[in-house]
Amino acid sequence: MAKTKRRRALAALMAACLPIGMELPSRLQVVTSLPGQYRWIQGLVPLPDHTFLILDTGTHRSLIVSTKGEVIRQIGSIGQEPGALQSPSAISLDARDEIVVLDSDNYRVQRFGRDGTFISLFPLNYYSESFAVTSNGNIVVNSPPKGAVFSIYSSSGQLLRSGGAMLGESAGYPGHQSRQSSLATMSRAIICADRAGGFYVVYTFMPLVQRYSAQGELLWQKRLSGPVIDAAAKTFWHEPGAEPARFLKKVYGVQLPVVISAAATLPNGRLLTAVTDGTLIELAETGEQLSTVAAAENLPRAVLALAYQDSYLYLALSDECFRTRDPIRF
C-alpha cells in the first residue's frame, strides 16, 4: 500500500517536472496495462480513486478495475430488464458520481451507482453508439436515426433539443458529392463533453470535428489534416495505392472504413482524437490542430477508447489495454 502511494507520488513528481511544451511525444510508446479478460472494450473512464471503469461491449457489462487489472466490481450483464445491458457502447461518470451507460442494443440510457446498483433508465427508441454527459449534467447522444447529429437530454431523460445538421461526404471530403442516402451513416460520431458544458462531435467516417455550446449551437468546425488524414481518406475512397482499412464498421449492412476510432477530452480541455492507424491528433479548445503523435509501433489494432489518469494516457484496443510508457503532462 505504502509502496503504491510512493509510486504514485513519484509519478506525480515526474509529471510535474516535465517541461511545458513537451506534453505529447512525437511518437507514442506504449506498454500493456489493465490486464484482464475483455472482448471488445469501447469505454475507458478514469475514476477519482485511481481505478478505471471499463465498458466491455462484448460481454455486455462494465467493470471497475484497479490499474493491476483486478476486478473490483461488475456492473450489468446481458439482458433487457432494468440494470441489464445489451452491447453497451459508451460510458461516463456524471457530476453526482453516478455511472451512466449508453445501452445501445436496448436503445436506452441507464444510470448506476458506483456500487453497481441500478438507479434509473430512459428510453431512446433508436440505436446509438456514442454519448457524453456534459458538465451541467445533460446527456448528449449521437442521434442520426432521429435526423440530427445529436440530441440533448436532461439527466432525467427529458429531450431538450436535437441539433446538428446531418452531413454528407462533401463535408469531410472536399471534392466528393454528398449522397442523401448516406447522411445517417456519415453523421455517426463520437461525442465528448468539453469543460464549459458544451461538447465536441468527432465524426467516425470523416476527418471532421465540431464543437457545440451547451445550448447546441455550433461554435466551430475543423477538418483534420496531415499525411495520416490523407492516407485515411484514400483508404475510405478505395483510391489506388490506399492502405487496407484497419477497422471496418458495418452500418446499415455496409462495411465502411473508420477514420477516427476514438476521442477523449483531456484535463486541459483539449481534444485528443485517434485515427484508425493509431496516430493521435490533439486539438485546442478553439479548434486549432496542435500536435500529431505518430502511432506506437506495437499497437496491433485501432484504438477504441482513450483515457488520461495519473499522468499516463491509456488506450483500449478491442480486448486489451495499453498505457503510455512514460508520463505525459497535460
Q: Map the footprint of another protein across residues 46-75, applying CB under 8 A.
A: 58-60
Q: Quick one: which of 4, 29, 32, 77 contacts another protein (CB under 8 A)?
A: 77
Q: Which helix (H) or strand (E) holds 5?
A: helix 2-17
Per-residue x/- marks for another protein, 190-229, CB under 8 A? Answer: ----------------------------------------
Distance CA(178)–CA(169), nearest Å, equals 5
**Strand, helix or coil at 254?**
strand
Q: Map the footprint of another protein across residues 283-312, applying CB under 8 A.
A: none
Our CB check for another protein shows the closer of 61 and 246 to be 61
Q: What angle do CA 96, 99, 104 make, to 5 degrees?
A: 140
Our CB check for another protein shows the closer of 98 and 326 to be 98
Q: Map the footprint of another protein across residues 143-172, applying CB under 8 A.
A: 157
Residue 34: phi and psi, rounded to 5, are 45, 60
Whether the Cβ atoms of residue 252 and residue 184 lie closer than 8 Å to each other: yes
Grid cell listed for 153? 437530454
CB of 163 to another protein, least distance (A): 22
CB of 77 to another protein, least distance (A): 6
**Strand, helix or coil at 4?**
helix
Q: Map the footprint of another protein across residues 112-131, applying CB under 8 A.
A: 121-127
Instruction: Compute the chain's Rg from CA coordinates.
Output: 19
30-to-19, 25, 321 alpha-carbon distances in Å? 20, 11, 10
Verify binding: residue 253, another protein, rule CB under 8 A. no
Residues in the chain: 330
Our CB check for another protein shows the closer of 125 and 177 to be 125
Whether the Cβ atoms of residue 152 and residue 138 lie closer than 8 Å to each other: yes
Whether the Cβ atoms of residue 141 and residue 102 lie closer than 8 Å to each other: yes
Verify binding: residue 107, another protein, rule CB under 8 A. yes
CB of 60 to another protein, least distance (A): 7
Verify binding: residue 35, another protein, rule CB under 8 A. no
Q: Quick one: which of 76, 101, 102, 108 contacts another protein (CB under 8 A)?
A: 108
Verify binding: residue 79, another protein, rule CB under 8 A. yes
Residues that bind another protein (CB under 8 A): 37, 39, 58-60, 77-82, 86, 103, 105-108, 121-127, 157
